[in-house]
């Protein structure tokens, strides 16, 4: 049964059940799809089973009867290897292939070419929104695909999405993602610097939130992810910067942006400075902490933040 025609009988293969993929796969199951889930982590497979997915022992077992294959993998080399060796030629040629990983544009286009040669419809469809949105099914998807395939892709992503955009042809989804996250890295650093300065000047950071959230300093980093505990109850700042969007992942995206800038000849001085600061935070031992925890480095309070 083709995906989208009969919700209860659509077969989804979900590969990669980490912090993001686990919630995404669970939402496919909640929508009524039969989800065959695979990950190298036994604990991740167990969580997927509890969420209504069917854990399987290999990628090939997951994809062999799939209507849709969704991957959420760490980096470009993993995506290329899994698609070239374990998905293309194993999944039915009628299957829709969706890579939701954040990788470099060149690799996304290479995988798209391999998929096309195999007779598959493919899209790079990275996400924005973090783990909370992955769990809630409210991610934003940035899609690079053939225009004729977008309707089918949008329907396949709907259980996980609050908004799905066709950014352009193959690779455009990855381009949109790395540019978007460069904005996020820069604005988070600006927010953290402003909070650190406000504190030094005797201004309560909670009062500063009330002001910045309704004036020209407003941004997503302020109103949705404020890095000081209290004003945004769901923000990782209320959990000692545990969970959320790991610093190592932000650093990965900023590196992708800088690599793309170097190849294209774009000038991105603030992006470069953001990469340098997050790299320092990561090297100090905080790569597993939410990226908004860099506030503690800027405040000179790293002794109050557990490494991880």
Cite the active site residues.
177
What separation, in Å, do the N-terminal and C-terminal C-alpha atoms of the chain show? 45
Distance CA 19, CA 126 (A): 14
Distance CA 7, CA 51 (A): 17
Q: What share of the chain is helix, strand, coil (3-state, %, to 5)?
A: 55, 15, 35
What are φ and ψ of residue 162, in 5° steps? -105, -20
What residue has token string 């995988």? 111
The two tokens of residue 131 are 């783990």
Do the Cβ atoms of 103 and 255 come closer than 8 Å? no
H/E stretch holding 269 reads: helix 269-281
Distance CA 124, CA 172 (A): 8
Cα separation values, 63 from 9, 36, 304, Å: 15, 8, 46
What residue has token string 């980093």? 221
H/E stretch holding 124 reads: strand 121-124
Q: What is the largest CA-CA distance in the chain?
A: 63
């Amino acid at each position: 049964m083709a995906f989208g025609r009969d919700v209860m009988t659509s077969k989804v293969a979900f590969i990669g059940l980490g912090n993001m993929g686990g919630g995404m796969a669970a939402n496919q199951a909640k929508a009524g799809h039969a989800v065959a889930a695979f990950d190298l982590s036994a604990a991740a497979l167990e969580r997927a089973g509890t969420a209504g997915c069917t854990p399987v022992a290999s990628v090939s077992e997951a994809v062999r009867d799939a209507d849709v294959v969704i991957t959420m993998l760490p980096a470009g080399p993993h995506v290329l290897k899994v698609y070239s060796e374990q998905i293309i030629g194993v999944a039915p040629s009628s299957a829709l292939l969706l890579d939701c990983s954040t990788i470099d544009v060149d690799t996304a286009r290479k995988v798209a070419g391999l998929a096309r040669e195999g007779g598959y419809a493919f899209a790079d469809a990275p996400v924005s929104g973090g783990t909370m949105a992955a769990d809630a099914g409210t991610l934003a998807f940035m899609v690079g695909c053939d225009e004729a395939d977008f309707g089918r892709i949008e329907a396949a992503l709907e259980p996980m999405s609050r908004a799905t955009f066709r950014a352009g042809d193959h690779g455009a989804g990855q381009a949109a993602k790395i540019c978007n996250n460069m904005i996020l890295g820069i604005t988070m650093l600006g927010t953290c610097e402003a909070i650190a300065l406000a504190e030094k000047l005797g201004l309560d950071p909670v009062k500063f939130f009330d002001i910045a959230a309704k004036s020209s300093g407003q941004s997503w980093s302020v109103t949705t992810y404020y890095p000081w505990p209290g004003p945004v109850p769901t923000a990782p700042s209320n959990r000692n910067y545990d969970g959320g969007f790991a610093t190592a992942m932000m650093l990965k995206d900023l590196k992708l942006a800088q690599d793309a800038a170097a190849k294209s000849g774009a000038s991105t001085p603030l992006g470069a400075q953001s990469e340098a600061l997050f790299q320092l935070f990561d090297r100090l031992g905080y790569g597993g902490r939410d990226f908004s925890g860099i506030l503690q480095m800027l405040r000179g309070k790293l002794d109050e933040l557990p490494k991880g």
